Structure 1
Amino acid sequence: MVEKLLGVLGGMGPLASAQFMVRLTLLTPAEQDQEHIPTVLWSDPRVPPRTAARLAGGADPLPAMLRGIRGLEAAGCGAIAIPCNTAHGWYGSMRDATSLPILHIVDAAAADLARQGVAPGRIGLMGTAATLAMRLYQNKLEGAGWDCLVPDEAEMRRLVTPAIDLVKANRVAEAYPPLAEVARGLAARGARAVVLGCTEIPLGLAAGPALPFPIIDTIDALARTSIAWALD
């Protein structure tokens, strides 16, 4: 029986949080209910938009995220996973506000690159405009030897950002063509794998045919890191 209680700071967006719970369950090596990971999901979609906060002077999401952390602390959680990449732009402030470890999604993605045998070199990176602008992935992955190719501004404006919005609007199947186009474009530029650095992107890409190159699904990556923490 697993004794550690995992906290999930979710709602950013709700579908990504729900998918994280599905993948956490399916990836856990369990034979019966009692072998699964005790989890508290705090799914609060009222958190202000993270990209707007970083790039357009929108409302600060940190107070709402800290409210969720307090709730997970009160529930007795031993660690926190956040299935939202852009929210990690406030990682330092959240880490400093709690004694609980917060499992970092970029570390999880790096571990999954290694798990899939993607050697250092050129890889693709997709994410929200804010995640890319904050260089949440580039700084860490490039320090480990991976050279990150990202969509250009026109691709972000025309394809990636609208597709993320489609997933948030529950129009998941419509998000597949633009996301697949961008991922294939990164591969054509020499990317040997593509990191999906927004938890809406794997939901959109799951709605169509699998792509013919390695994909780092950050929902799965964070779920694997959470399982490793819980079973350690």
Structure 2
Amino acid sequence: MKHFFSIIGGMGTQATESYLHLLNQRTPAHHDQDYLNYILVNHATVPDRTAYILDHTKPNPLPDLLEDIKQQSLLKPDFFTLPCNTAHYFYDQLQAATDVPILHMPREAVEQIKISYPTAKRVGLIATNGTLHDGVYDHEIQAAGFEVVKPTAEIRDETMNLIYHDIKENGTVNANRYHHILAQMVNTLKSDIVILGCTELSVAQEQAGNHSYPVMDAQSVLVDRTIELAERNRQSK
């Protein structure tokens, strides 16, 4: 197969499914052959990223992710996507292990804010505790000239319940909980825009997007960048 990309997914599987659904839905296709060529690595048994980031005595996801990157690199994809925000904690080590470019989801999301919300100043972030702790988004947001608005302890706990209890464990989206989280970030903490910095939150947005709060869905941005890059590679080679 020529002109394809590899997706390092399964973190979690439902979030990867959401990424694939949006990817295929947004691809401009009228025939089977118009869709994009890709390989999905749904590595569901990769150890929990947040657990390791917060406690290095827990199983380390990096060896599994490196194995996936190295195996897929042998097939010579045009690029990689990594539809898991928290896994970007390991981005530099993963990119150093291959010559194949890896799209950086947090960076792409923040860049899109400058385009879609040019007057924004205060950028809120909701994500797993691992992503909030590792500072990947903080760096990107501040480098772009925005002020980072972190959630309170109450909002963090509510967000972790939505991600882990509702979506990962039970496969459901508590719309009221999701909307309450956004209301607190926008109305109480005065965020001009809220980044959905976890792909489970992207699932929540897909299923409960009937709200008026300004959000930047990192996974949605990754989908658009994936299509743009894949189409450009297909047309230029």
1:146-205 deviations in Å (ceiling 9; x for gaps): 212121123212x0111111211243233x222221111111122121110000012123
CA root-mean-square deviation: 1.7
- Indicate the SS of the match to 1:7: strand
Whole-Å separation in 2 of the counterparts to 1:72 and 1:119: 41
CA distance in 2, matches of 1:64, 1:80: 15
Does residue 153 (structure 1) correspond to residue 127 (structure 2)? The answer is: no
What is the aligned partner in structure 2 of residue 22 from structure 1? Answer: 21
Count of aligned pairs between the two proteins: 229
- Which residue number in structure 1 is paired with residue 181 of structure 2? 182
State the distance in 2 between where 1:115 and 1:31 align. 29
Match of 1:191 in 2: 191
Cα deviation digits, residues 77-108 of structure 1 (max 9, x gap): 11100000000000011011111100000122
User: What is the identity percentage for the equivalent residue pairs of Structure 1 and Structure 2?
Assistant: 27
CA distance in 1 between counterparts of 2:141 and 2:123 reads: 10
Aligned 1:90-169 pairs, distance under 5 A: 90-157=90-157, 159-165=158-164, 166-169=166-169
- Distance in 1 between residues matched to 2:34 and 2:94, nearest whole Å: 30
The normalised TM-score by structure 1 is 0.92
In structure 2, runs of 5+ residues without a counterpart are 233-237
After superposing on structure 2, the runs of 4+ consecutive aligned residues of structure 1 that deviate more than 4 Å are none
Question: CA 1:3–1:31 in 2, change beyond 3 Å: closer, same or farther?
Answer: farther
Deviation of residue 111 (structure 1)? 3.0
Deviation at 1:31, TM superposition (A): 2.5
Q: State the 1:118 CA deviation.
A: 4.0
Query: Which residue pairs with 1:10 in the alignment?
Result: 9
Structure 1 range deviating more: 23-32 or 36-45: 23-32
Stretch moving more, 114-123 or 11-20: 114-123
Q: Give the CA deviation at 1:3.
A: 5.2
Q: So what's the TM-score if we normalise by structure 2?
A: 0.90
Query: Is 205-214 or 6-15 further displaced after alignment?
Result: 205-214
Unaligned runs of 5+ in 1: none
